[in-house]
A and B are shown apart, each in its own frame.
Chain A
């Protein structure tokens, strides 16, 4: 036996190597979570409300971990994608309902990514009418011509840029005692602005489309039931990374923008949050990070959406297929991209507002997807013995009910203010 294989036989090393091999779905999904929508939402939250919304990250984290764990478990036990499971368990009508919602939300999400592209390149003085179409074409080419896996890895590497928020937040010397107090004793309001912000934060942290994506990633890794423990750690690490970055984005913006009474109207305003760390280069650093995150997600989102819809309805799908072989897939992909681009290119389109409201839309769709997931994951015929325990069900149902409640309150507020006029 060579030295190499001797080392591999060592049980602890083997565990670690196995962990590295399985690592992926949770971490990748965690990084993708901090896309243009995420960065913008967390920045606006910090700028407008200071530290007052930090507490929302705790229930968001809890919900995120529980939901992602359910997806990972479903993927490992059944080996089937979320779209497949929904179709098999609930039939055509429910599947159509969910997917219309998903496509609408994802057109919004894709538009948000392009808003990020436009915003970040505007910092360099490039007009959105040039940057957005160019990037859209680049994304189409990237997807249809090149190897997707290497692209994924390149972008993952650059997502380390987000760590600059952590340094910035520390350097801005926020009042940590005040932060602690704001988390432990949250002040809650029920006006439209506050509610939509809370929903936005939840919606961007626990975005429905990512549940589908995560389960697919788990299946592709062909993780076995025996290795479930590693997948669980992968999920926890990924979720923690997401929420930690979110936390520091909010703190950094609170300490720089909110403290000085600055608002965010465009991306370059948000860049000021990085000033303590990057000084004069804050804008460029921010633009770079935002651009990478946006392009990455702009590639994944329409692709994943088209793929899952086709999966659910039995159409051929996949970038390894030619256009003639999978017409519905490519048509859907092109449709989502086109509508998103058009939304952003509309003259005077309020990029920040579009971003926030898209995340709210995510939060509204989430209870629907969550309900179907909870029902499936409690079904012994599907999951065998690996059904939810009481805690998971409690978190899941509570999250669903609270989200529906908040949505109802928000819509009520909107209705009332519309009637007043």
Chain B
């Protein structure tokens, strides 16, 4: 590259420092003397930075079948029509190797599907946008748009002239920054997804968005993407996924993670999932779970499907009548898992019999030393574990609560059913 002058590249007027991959692929690669040594078939990048730079060029020498790799340091300049190498570069050709943190732009990214974490969907890569900075070529954007397709065909000038003349219109680019892109390509050896660690993560997506993405992917990419999620995200995502897919995803997950994921899931969701698993797998998973979660699950599994008991969760806050508001706040602080019903605090006696319910509002406005029982509402609507879900739905419709407590015949609190669960239940088609 000529000293500090930004390299003159392209066809695109005004964007002299940018280059599209499609414009330089298959161009002639010449040595310092000007003789062609082959053509550029690919570029390799090492992931890790926000906008990683090319680490090697891949050249297919003339009259040879296999492409060879050359370190980027051997490249002198890249222009729209050719790539010029430094003197003596030809000695440094070696066989192509791709590490688990390296990506080949044409082979593994161009024309393939990727996850766009900005738009929360899957897109197909039409072209790749690179930036020349000093001596390096960085990947900055991925092109998803129609313009990219037209550019690949080589018709951009013609189409621009046409639309400009007849409609005073120029088809816009659709470029998404590399930091939002997670490629769906795996390392050949361990079959794990090559993660774009510096970029905004898959983790930033809402679980429902991730669930949609997983449902749209083909089996291979889907299993790999799911495997790459941490346990917490995997659990949240699994809760949002279509039931049939839930089973398949869990089966694809490595054995050690499967029980961890189940533990992390909301107990009622986990029970639903376990219901659908083949008997042997179900027993295996329950066995490998940790005791507290396992006990909760086994208990829930006892209830028949279609009853209130199968829908309830044990994630709620309850205190006995002698405890204070201050202690309730402490309980809140201690819960690290997401509580679906933050609205209510249940008040019980020493035998766990339900006495009343207090709300979040009381926690905020009452004095810390006030007993929880003082402002609680003793008039409670409850359901029993054996009651039909239809009855529960009717109660929710009538009273519009955020959650309903489930008690046994002796009024002992067994669990709660949240509005979220009812929505899922009634909106399931």
What's the Cα separation between A313 and B248 when bound, in Å?
29
Contacting pair A87 B124 (CB below 8 A): yes
Contacting pair A92 B112 (CB below 8 A): no
In the complex, what's the smallest C-beta–C-beta distance from A297 to chain B, in angstroms?
27
Q: Which chain A residues in 209-261 approach chain B with CB under 8 Å?
A: 219, 222
In the complex, what's the smallest C-beta–C-beta distance from B130 to chain A, in angstroms?
18
Contacting pair B111 A92 (CB below 8 A): yes
In the complex, what's the smallest C-beta–C-beta distance from A336 to chain B, in angstroms?
20
Contacting pair A93 B152 (CB below 8 A): yes
For A219, the chain B residues whose CB sits under 8 A away are 218
The yes or no answer to B10 lying at the interface (CB within 8 A) is no
For B301, the chain A residues whose CB sits under 8 A away are none
Contacting pair A314 B152 (CB below 8 A): no
What's the Cα separation between A318 and B157 when bound, in Å?
32
Contacting pair B110 A91 (CB below 8 A): yes
For A171, the chain B residues whose CB sits under 8 A away are none
For A137, the chain B residues whose CB sits under 8 A away are none
What's the Cα separation between A88 and B108 when bound, in Å?
9
What's the Cα separation between A93 and B110 when bound, in Å?
13
Contacting pair B123 A222 (CB below 8 A): no
For A79, the chain B residues whose CB sits under 8 A away are 218-220, 222
Contacting pair A78 B144 (CB below 8 A): no
The yes or no answer to B153 lying at the interface (CB within 8 A) is yes
In the complex, what's the smallest C-beta–C-beta distance from B6 to chain A, in angstroms?
29
Contacting pair B218 A80 (CB below 8 A): yes
Contacting pair A91 B220 (CB below 8 A): no
Contacting pair A314 B124 (CB below 8 A): yes
Q: Which chain A residues in 58-107 approach chain B with CB under 8 Å?
A: 78-80, 84, 87-88, 91-93, 96
Q: A79-B218, A91-B110 are in contact. Are A222 and B248 (CB under 8 A)?
A: yes
Contacting pair B219 A222 (CB below 8 A): yes
Chain A residue at smallest Cβ distance from B22 = A92
For B144, the chain A residues whose CB sits under 8 A away are 314
In the complex, what's the smallest C-beta–C-beta distance from B181 to chain A, in angstroms?
14
Contacting pair A92 B219 (CB below 8 A): no
In the complex, what's the smallest C-beta–C-beta distance from B354 to chain A, in angstroms?
37
Chain A residue at smallest Cβ distance from B221 = A79
What's the Cα separation between A78 and B220 when bound, in Å?
7
The yes or no answer to B149 lying at the interface (CB within 8 A) is yes
Q: Which chain B residues in 96-128 approach chain A with CB under 8 Å?
A: 110-113, 123-124, 126
Among B110, B124, B126, B222, find the residue whose CB has the most chain A CB atoms closer than 10 A: B124
What's the Cα separation between A93 and B112 when bound, in Å?
15
Chain B residue at smallest Cβ distance from A87 = B111
Chain B residue at smallest Cβ distance from A77 = B220
What's the Cα separation between A376 and B219 when bound, in Å?
18
Chain B 202-225: CB-based contact to A (< 8 A → 1; otherwise 0):
000000000000000011101000
Give the dominant DSSP class at B's interface.
mixed
For B112, the chain A residues whose CB sits under 8 A away are 88
Contacting pair A92 B248 (CB below 8 A): no
For A78, the chain B residues whose CB sits under 8 A away are 218, 220
Chain B residue at smallest Cβ distance from A85 = B218
Q: A79-B220, A219-B218, A222-B219 are in contact. Are A91 and B152 (CB under 8 A)?
A: yes
Among B112, B153, B218, find the residue whose CB has the most chain A CB atoms closer than 10 A: B218
What's the Cα separation between A205 and B53 when bound, in Å?
51
What's the Cα separation between A80 and B111 when bound, in Å?
14
In the complex, what's the smallest C-beta–C-beta distance from A373 to chain B, in angstroms?
17
What's the Cα separation between A93 and B152 when bound, in Å?
7
Q: A87-B111, A222-B248 are in contact. Are A92 and B218 (CB under 8 A)?
A: no
For A87, the chain B residues whose CB sits under 8 A away are 111, 124
Among A79, A80, A92, A219, find the residue whose CB has the most chain B CB atoms closer than 10 A: A92
Q: Which chain B residues in 387-428 approach chain A with CB under 8 Å?
A: none
What's the Cα separation between A62 and B218 when bound, in Å?
30
Q: Which chain B residues in 118-173 approach chain A with CB under 8 Å?
A: 123-124, 126, 144, 149, 152-153
What's the Cα separation between A124 and B144 when bound, in Å?
52
What's the Cα separation between A87 and B112 when bound, in Å?
8
Chain A residue at smallest Cβ distance from B220 = A79
Contact check: which of A91, A92, A93, A314 meets B123 at CB < 8 Å? Answer: A314
Contacting pair B124 A92 (CB below 8 A): no
Chain A residue at smallest Cβ distance from B106 = A91
Chain A residue at smallest Cβ distance from B154 = A93
Q: Which chain B residues in 216-260 approach chain A with CB under 8 Å?
A: 218-220, 222, 248
Contact check: which of B113, B126, B220, B222 meets A92 at CB < 8 Å? Answer: B126
Chain A 290-332: CB-based contact to B (< 8 A → 1; otherwise 0):
0000000000000000000000011000000000000000000
Chain B residue at smallest Cβ distance from A75 = B218
What's the Cα separation between A314 and B248 when bound, in Å?
26
Chain A residue at smallest Cβ distance from B107 = A381
What's the Cα separation between A226 and B124 when bound, in Å?
30
For A313, the chain B residues whose CB sits under 8 A away are 124, 149
In the complex, what's the smallest C-beta–C-beta distance from A173 to chain B, in angstroms?
53
What's the Cα separation between A222 and B248 when bound, in Å?
10
For B149, the chain A residues whose CB sits under 8 A away are 92, 313-314
For A92, the chain B residues whose CB sits under 8 A away are 111, 126, 149, 152-153
What's the Cα separation between A363 and B248 when bound, in Å?
40
What's the Cα separation between A314 and B112 when bound, in Å?
10
For B124, the chain A residues whose CB sits under 8 A away are 87, 313-314
Q: A222-B248, A313-B149, A314-B144 are in contact. Are A88 and B220 (CB under 8 A)?
A: no
For A93, the chain B residues whose CB sits under 8 A away are 152-153
Chain B residue at smallest Cβ distance from A95 = B111
For A88, the chain B residues whose CB sits under 8 A away are 111-112
Contact check: which of B111, B219, B248 meets A91 at CB < 8 Å? Answer: B111
Among A78, A79, A87, A96, find the residue whose CB has the most chain B CB atoms closer than 10 A: A79
Chain A residue at smallest Cβ distance from B244 = A222
What's the Cα separation between A80 and B153 when bound, in Å?
24
In the complex, what's the smallest C-beta–C-beta distance from B214 to chain A, in angstroms?
13
Chain B residue at smallest Cβ distance from A90 = B111
In the complex, what's the smallest C-beta–C-beta distance from B246 to chain A, in angstroms?
13
What's the Cα separation between A80 and B222 when bound, in Å?
11
In the complex, what's the smallest C-beta–C-beta distance from B358 to chain A, in angstroms?
45
Chain B residue at smallest Cβ distance from A314 = B124
A78-B218, A91-B152 given; 18 more Cβ-contact pairs under 8 Å: A79-B218, A79-B220, A79-B222, A84-B218, A87-B111, A91-B110, A91-B111, A92-B111, A92-B126, A92-B153, A93-B153, A96-B153, A222-B219, A313-B124, A313-B149, A314-B123, A314-B126, A314-B144
Can you list 9 A-B pairs with a CB-CB distance of less than 8 A?
A78-B218, A79-B219, A84-B113, A87-B124, A88-B112, A92-B152, A93-B152, A96-B153, A219-B218
Q: B residues bordering A, Cβ < 8 Å?
A: 110-113, 123-124, 126, 144, 149, 152-153, 218-220, 222, 248
Q: A residues bordering B, Cβ < 8 Å?
A: 78-80, 84, 87-88, 91-93, 96, 219, 222, 313-314
The 5 closest A-B pairs by CB, nearest first: A79-B219, A79-B218, A314-B124, A92-B152, A80-B218
